[in-house]
Amino acid sequence: MSDTELAGDARRFREVLAHYPTGVVVVTALDRDGAPLGMVVGSFTSVSLDPPLVAYLPAKSSSSYAALREQPRFCVNVLASDQEQLCRQFASRGADKFTDVTWALSPGGSPMLAGAVAWLDCSVEGVLDGGDHDIVLGRVEHLEVSGAGDPLLFFQGGYGGFRPRALVAPWSADLRPQLQDADVARGPMEDLAREVGFPCYAQALVDDEVVVVAGAGGDQVVRTHIGRRLPLVPPYGSLFLDLADPDVAADQWAHHLRTPVSAPMRAHHRLMLERVRSRGWSLGLRAPQHDDVWDQVARFSEARAMPDVERRIGALLDGLTPYYEPSDLEPTGSYDVRALAAPVRSGGRTALVLVLHGMPAGASGAQVAHWRERLVTTADTVSRRLAALPEARTR
């Protein structure tokens, strides 16, 4: 289309650009009398890292911008997906936009809206001409992520949230087959938990996520872990991978990571998987950062995992890998074991993984070997029980 044709077809112009989703921000400031000002902006962007510059693009005809234009400072508030009503309030004409809105002053003296995902405190660096819009450049002086959750998006005339491509597939599968297997495992798990004196969990693979589907021992502690999801990334879930070929298994692990795997790290992953394949069980020792990882895993389980949470989990898990699948333990050595795991096999695949968790610190290598033998025996018992079930059982 020529420039003339484009100029005469504003509807089509807007229709095509509506296929590009944008974030939603509220730009705020205080006027000379100290009264708060604010306007909704859909065109906001980063401009420069050095110096730190951002820009928002208000319509020159906007009455809200007429007041903001006179102020030397402003704050960009990135709205959360649950703030659609707040967005509509600030987009309305004539009303007091700050009615019933909770806000505080930024370090630079502009309103920060409660519940926003993030804010950027800016001074006006310059104003450029952008046709029927201005391009307001802001030098970022302070910024912060102030809330968890996903941002509000505007797309094709409507508002919505951000559904990321997670480290693993979304939580959506039918759990009946896994719960049926867990029900078969429950009795042997309870016997094992009573014998050793600490919990036993059953994990299943659901949509490429490792999910705790049953537990025995530990009472309330065990119940709080039912339904917890773990990403299928190193060092988790090794027994669910295709261990017949450690290279294939290492590729399956790497497939779910958000960051590239270095050659040394991939070699270490392959060594871990080779040990799991040859042993037929998995061992994890306690690491200093395990509690931090578990906190992040809880957030992964309780809501849609946002990319920043996934990146934090990935970075923390990198630090755990040296503690998993160590070389053979010395019988007289002292070890702090985090988890022992053994597979339950059914139909040529891993149906469940049984995990002993919460072992006392300072156990001898001989004691760990005893726990492992009892765990493997229990897993084999469950495997035989699954094999004896009628083939017609739905999977």
Q: Which residue has the higher pLDDT, 293 or 302?
A: 293
pLDDT digits (tens, 9 = 90+) for 121-158: 999 999 999 999 999 999 999 999 986 578 888 877 77
d(CA 380, CA 374): 10
pLDDT digits (tens, 9 = 90+) for 256-297: 776 678 899 999 999 999 999 999 999 999 988 777 776 766
Token couple for 6: 């484009």
pLDDT band at 170 (very low <50, low <70, confident <90, very high): very low
At 220, the amino acid letter reads: Q
Residues with Cβ within 8 Å of 17's Cβ and at least 6 positions away in sequence, in order, are none
Question: What does the DSSP assignment read for 156-215?
Answer: TTEEE------SS--S----HHHHHHHHHHHHHHHHHHHHHTS-EEEEEEETTEEEEEEE
Q: Which residues pair with 77 in a beta bridge?
A: 26, 119
Length of the chain: 395
Token couple for 320: 């755990």
Q: What is the pTM of this model?
A: 0.58
On whether the CB atoms of residues 120 and 138 are closer than 8 A, the answer is: yes
On whether the CB atoms of residues 148 and 140 are closer than 8 A, the answer is: no
Average pLDDT over residues 199-205: 94
In this model, does residue 340 exceed pLDDT 50?
yes
Average pLDDT over residues 96-107: 94
In this model, does residue 95 exceed pLDDT 80?
no
Name the residue among 108, 114, 117 with its Cα closest to residue 139: 108
In the chain the domains, ranked by start, together with CATH numbers, are: 3-160 (2.30.110.10), 176-387 (3.30.450.40)
Token couple for 380: 């084999």
Q: Can you list the alpha helix ranges (DSSP code H) found in the chain? A: 3-7, 10-17, 63-68, 84-91, 176-196, 220-225, 246-255, 263-279, 290-302, 307-320, 365-387
Phi then psi for 234, rounded to 5 degrees? Answer: -55, 135
Cα–Cα separations (whole angstroms), residue 182 to 211, 247, 345 = 12, 30, 12
The SS3 of residue 264 is helix
Of 70-74, 339-343, 356-360, least confident by mean pLDDT is 356-360
Of 205-214, 307-316, 318-327, 332-341, least confident by mean pLDDT is 307-316
Residues with Cβ within 8 Å of 285's Cβ and at least 6 positions away in sequence, in order, are 323, 324, 326, 335, 336, 337, 338
Q: What is the mean pLDDT of the chain?
A: 86
pLDDT digits (tens, 9 = 90+) for 19-61: 778 899 999 999 999 999 999 998 999 999 999 999 999 999 9
- What pLDDT sits at residue 19? 73
The SS3 of residue 351 is strand
d(CA 47, CA 336): 50
- What pLDDT sits at residue 16? 81
Residues with Cβ within 8 Å of 47's Cβ and at least 6 positions away in sequence, in order, are 53, 54, 55, 137
Q: Which residues pair with 55 in a beta bridge?
A: 45, 137
- What pLDDT sits at residue 391? 63
pLDDT band at 308 (very low <50, low <70, confident <90, very high): low
Max avg pLDDT among 2-11, 185-194, 315-324: 185-194
